[in-house]
Amino acid sequence: MKRAEIYALINKFAPPETAEDWDCVGILVENKKEEIKKILLCLTVTDDILNQALEQNCDMIISHHPLFYVPIKYKDMNIFCAHTNLDLAEGGTTDTLINNLGLKKTDENGFVRYVNLLSPISVNEFAQKLKKLSPNLRYVNNQQINKIQKIAFCAGSGSEFIETAKNDGADAFVTGDLKFHTALESPIVLFDAGHFESEIPVLKVFEKLLQNKAEIVYAKEESPFKII
Protein backbone atom coordinates (compact mmCIF):
# COMPACT_ATOMS: atom_id res chain seq x y z
CA MET A 1 0.00 0.00 0.00
CA LYS A 2 1.20 3.47 -0.77
CA ARG A 3 2.35 5.55 2.16
CA ALA A 4 0.00 8.39 1.24
CA GLU A 5 -2.99 6.03 1.31
CA ILE A 6 -2.15 5.05 4.89
CA TYR A 7 -1.96 8.69 5.91
CA ALA A 8 -5.35 9.32 4.28
CA LEU A 9 -7.05 6.43 6.10
CA ILE A 10 -5.87 7.55 9.53
CA ASN A 11 -6.48 11.25 8.86
CA LYS A 12 -10.04 10.51 7.78
CA PHE A 13 -10.69 8.76 11.09
CA ALA A 14 -8.79 11.29 13.22
CA PRO A 15 -8.52 14.60 11.30
CA PRO A 16 -5.17 16.25 12.10
CA GLU A 17 -6.78 19.68 12.24
CA THR A 18 -8.58 18.63 15.42
CA ALA A 19 -5.28 18.12 17.29
CA GLU A 20 -4.28 20.60 19.98
CA ASP A 21 -2.17 23.55 18.79
CA TRP A 22 0.87 22.36 20.77
CA ASP A 23 0.66 18.83 19.41
CA CYS A 24 2.87 17.33 16.71
CA VAL A 25 0.79 14.84 14.73
CA GLY A 26 0.91 13.29 11.31
CA ILE A 27 4.15 12.70 9.41
CA LEU A 28 7.09 12.74 11.80
CA VAL A 29 9.71 11.18 9.51
CA GLU A 30 9.63 10.14 5.85
CA ASN A 31 12.24 8.12 4.00
CA LYS A 32 12.38 7.17 0.32
CA LYS A 33 10.21 4.08 0.72
CA GLU A 34 6.68 4.87 -0.45
CA GLU A 35 5.39 1.29 -0.75
CA ILE A 36 4.45 0.07 2.74
CA LYS A 37 4.16 -3.68 3.28
CA LYS A 38 4.77 -4.03 7.02
CA ILE A 39 3.87 -1.65 9.87
CA LEU A 40 4.90 -1.66 13.53
CA LEU A 41 2.31 -0.22 15.93
CA CYS A 42 3.39 1.31 19.22
CA LEU A 43 2.34 3.75 21.87
CA THR A 44 5.68 5.60 22.05
CA VAL A 45 8.63 5.65 19.64
CA THR A 46 11.93 5.00 21.40
CA ASP A 47 15.33 3.67 20.32
CA ASP A 48 14.18 0.20 21.32
CA ILE A 49 10.99 0.51 19.27
CA LEU A 50 12.99 1.68 16.25
CA ASN A 51 15.30 -1.32 16.60
CA GLN A 52 12.31 -3.65 16.78
CA ALA A 53 10.95 -2.15 13.56
CA LEU A 54 14.31 -2.53 11.79
CA GLU A 55 14.80 -6.09 13.03
CA GLN A 56 11.37 -7.08 11.73
CA ASN A 57 11.91 -5.33 8.38
CA CYS A 58 9.04 -2.91 8.91
CA ASP A 59 8.53 -0.10 6.42
CA MET A 60 6.73 2.20 8.86
CA ILE A 61 6.08 2.88 12.53
CA ILE A 62 2.69 4.24 13.56
CA SER A 63 2.51 5.58 17.11
CA HIS A 64 0.02 7.32 19.36
CA HIS A 65 2.55 9.60 21.09
CA PRO A 66 4.41 12.16 18.98
CA LEU A 67 8.08 12.95 18.73
CA PHE A 68 8.82 16.57 19.52
CA TYR A 69 12.47 15.98 18.68
CA VAL A 70 13.59 13.52 16.00
CA PRO A 71 17.04 11.96 16.49
CA ILE A 72 19.10 11.65 13.32
CA LYS A 73 19.13 7.85 13.70
CA TYR A 74 15.38 7.82 13.00
CA LYS A 75 15.76 9.32 9.52
CA ASP A 76 15.63 5.97 7.71
CA MET A 77 12.20 4.94 9.03
CA ASN A 78 8.77 6.24 8.06
CA ILE A 79 7.11 7.39 11.29
CA PHE A 80 3.53 8.64 11.61
CA CYS A 81 1.43 9.44 14.69
CA ALA A 82 -2.09 10.37 15.71
CA HIS A 83 -2.25 11.86 19.18
CA THR A 84 -4.79 14.38 20.49
CA ASN A 85 -6.70 14.07 17.21
CA LEU A 86 -7.10 10.35 17.97
CA ASP A 87 -8.14 11.20 21.54
CA LEU A 88 -10.94 13.40 20.21
CA ALA A 89 -12.03 11.10 17.38
CA GLU A 90 -15.25 9.16 17.66
CA GLY A 91 -14.12 5.64 18.55
CA GLY A 92 -10.66 6.90 19.52
CA THR A 93 -8.48 6.53 22.60
CA THR A 94 -10.93 7.05 25.45
CA ASP A 95 -13.85 5.42 23.64
CA THR A 96 -11.68 2.32 23.15
CA LEU A 97 -10.88 2.23 26.87
CA ILE A 98 -14.58 2.39 27.70
CA ASN A 99 -15.43 -0.36 25.22
CA ASN A 100 -12.70 -2.60 26.64
CA LEU A 101 -14.35 -2.31 30.04
CA GLY A 102 -17.58 -3.60 28.54
CA LEU A 103 -19.26 -0.23 29.04
CA LYS A 104 -21.14 2.06 26.67
CA LYS A 105 -20.52 5.77 26.30
CA THR A 106 -23.59 7.92 26.92
CA ASP A 107 -22.23 11.40 26.16
CA GLU A 108 -19.03 13.41 25.81
CA ASN A 109 -17.49 16.82 26.39
CA GLY A 110 -14.38 17.22 24.25
CA PHE A 111 -11.66 14.93 25.57
CA VAL A 112 -13.93 13.70 28.37
CA ARG A 113 -16.34 10.85 27.78
CA TYR A 114 -19.11 9.74 30.15
CA VAL A 115 -20.77 6.49 31.07
CA ASN A 116 -24.05 6.76 32.96
CA LEU A 117 -24.68 3.35 34.48
CA LEU A 118 -28.24 2.02 34.69
CA SER A 119 -27.76 1.58 38.42
CA PRO A 120 -25.11 2.66 40.94
CA ILE A 121 -22.04 0.49 41.50
CA SER A 122 -19.79 0.39 44.54
CA VAL A 123 -16.41 2.09 44.28
CA ASN A 124 -14.70 -1.20 45.11
CA GLU A 125 -16.64 -3.17 42.51
CA PHE A 126 -15.76 -0.67 39.80
CA ALA A 127 -12.12 -0.67 40.94
CA GLN A 128 -12.00 -4.45 40.48
CA LYS A 129 -13.31 -4.04 36.94
CA LEU A 130 -10.57 -1.50 36.20
CA LYS A 131 -7.86 -3.68 37.73
CA LYS A 132 -8.40 -6.25 34.98
CA LEU A 133 -7.00 -3.68 32.54
CA SER A 134 -4.65 -1.87 34.88
CA PRO A 135 -2.73 -3.77 37.56
CA ASN A 136 -1.13 -0.44 38.55
CA LEU A 137 -4.51 1.06 39.48
CA ARG A 138 -4.67 3.70 42.23
CA TYR A 139 -7.73 5.54 43.45
CA VAL A 140 -8.70 8.60 45.49
CA ASN A 141 -11.89 8.87 47.54
CA ASN A 142 -11.61 11.94 49.74
CA GLN A 143 -15.33 12.10 50.46
CA GLN A 144 -15.66 8.38 51.30
CA ILE A 145 -18.24 7.91 48.55
CA ASN A 146 -19.76 4.41 48.50
CA LYS A 147 -21.62 4.29 45.19
CA ILE A 148 -20.98 5.85 41.79
CA GLN A 149 -23.17 5.98 38.70
CA LYS A 150 -21.98 8.65 36.27
CA ILE A 151 -18.33 8.04 35.45
CA ALA A 152 -16.08 10.32 33.40
CA PHE A 153 -13.14 8.99 31.37
CA CYS A 154 -10.08 10.52 29.77
CA ALA A 155 -7.37 8.07 28.74
CA GLY A 156 -3.77 9.15 29.25
CA SER A 157 -3.06 12.28 31.26
CA GLY A 158 -6.37 14.01 31.97
CA SER A 159 -6.16 15.45 35.48
CA GLU A 160 -6.85 18.93 34.07
CA PHE A 161 -10.41 17.78 33.37
CA ILE A 162 -11.38 16.85 36.94
CA GLU A 163 -13.35 20.09 37.32
CA THR A 164 -15.05 19.49 33.96
CA ALA A 165 -16.07 16.01 35.09
CA LYS A 166 -17.41 17.35 38.41
CA ASN A 167 -19.34 20.17 36.73
CA ASP A 168 -20.89 17.68 34.31
CA GLY A 169 -22.23 15.71 37.26
CA ALA A 170 -19.76 12.83 37.32
CA ASP A 171 -19.34 10.88 40.55
CA ALA A 172 -15.95 9.52 39.47
CA PHE A 173 -13.23 10.13 36.91
CA VAL A 174 -10.93 7.57 35.28
CA THR A 175 -7.65 8.90 33.90
CA GLY A 176 -3.88 8.60 34.44
CA ASP A 177 -0.84 10.53 35.70
CA LEU A 178 -2.53 11.99 38.78
CA LYS A 179 -0.38 14.17 41.04
CA PHE A 180 -0.48 14.44 44.82
CA HIS A 181 -2.05 17.89 45.24
CA THR A 182 -4.55 17.25 42.46
CA ALA A 183 -5.63 14.06 44.20
CA LEU A 184 -5.68 15.72 47.63
CA GLU A 185 -8.19 18.34 46.55
CA SER A 186 -10.52 16.23 44.41
CA PRO A 187 -14.20 16.37 45.40
CA ILE A 188 -15.04 13.27 43.31
CA VAL A 189 -13.63 9.74 43.19
CA LEU A 190 -10.53 9.46 41.01
CA PHE A 191 -9.10 6.33 39.44
CA ASP A 192 -5.53 6.54 38.15
CA ALA A 193 -5.41 3.66 35.68
CA GLY A 194 -1.97 4.63 34.43
CA HIS A 195 -1.04 6.51 31.29
CA PHE A 196 0.23 3.44 29.48
CA GLU A 197 -2.54 1.07 30.53
CA SER A 198 -5.33 3.47 29.63
CA GLU A 199 -3.98 4.23 26.16
CA ILE A 200 -2.40 1.01 24.89
CA PRO A 201 -5.78 -0.46 23.76
CA VAL A 202 -6.07 2.24 21.08
CA LEU A 203 -3.48 0.50 18.92
CA LYS A 204 -6.28 -1.86 17.92
CA VAL A 205 -7.91 1.12 16.19
CA PHE A 206 -4.89 1.50 13.90
CA GLU A 207 -4.97 -2.22 13.16
CA LYS A 208 -8.65 -2.11 12.27
CA LEU A 209 -8.15 0.89 9.98
CA LEU A 210 -5.28 -0.82 8.16
CA GLN A 211 -6.47 -4.43 8.14
CA ASN A 212 -5.77 -6.17 4.83
CA LYS A 213 -3.79 -3.12 3.71
CA ALA A 214 -0.42 -4.15 5.14
CA GLU A 215 1.06 -6.66 7.56
CA ILE A 216 0.60 -5.36 11.11
CA VAL A 217 2.90 -6.18 14.04
CA TYR A 218 2.81 -4.86 17.59
CA ALA A 219 5.84 -3.48 19.37
CA LYS A 220 6.94 -5.09 22.60
CA GLU A 221 6.47 -2.29 25.11
CA GLU A 222 5.22 -1.93 28.66
CA SER A 223 4.66 0.63 31.36
CA PRO A 224 7.86 1.83 33.02
CA PHE A 225 6.14 1.51 36.41
CA LYS A 226 6.32 -1.82 38.23
CA ILE A 227 4.52 -3.19 41.27
CA ILE A 228 6.83 -4.46 44.00
Residue 215 has pLDDT above 90, yes or no: yes
Say which CATH topology domain 90-198 has.
Answer: 3.40.1390
Confidence of residue 226 (pLDDT cuts 50, 70, 90): confident
Q: What is the per-residue pLDDT for 227?
A: 79
pLDDT in tens, 45-87: 999 999 999 999 999 999 999 998 889 999 999 999 999 999 9
- The whole-angstrom separation of Cα 64 and Cα 203 is 8
Which CATH superfamily is 3-87+200-218 part of? NIF3 (NGG1p interacting factor 3)-like (3.40.1390.30)
Q: What is the per-residue pLDDT for 228?
A: 78
Q: Give domain limits for the chain.
A: 3-87+200-218, 90-198
pLDDT in tens, 131-163: 999 988 999 999 999 999 999 999 999 999 999
Distance of CA 15 to the CA centre of its chain: 16
Residue 86 φ then ψ, to 5°: -75, -30
Contact 98, 22 (CB under 8 A): no
Average pLDDT, the chain: 96
Burial class (CB in 10 A: 0-12, 13-18, 19+), 222: exposed
Q: What is the pTM of this model?
A: 0.94
Q: Where are the alpha helices (DSSP H) in 144-202?
A: 162-167, 180-184, 195-199
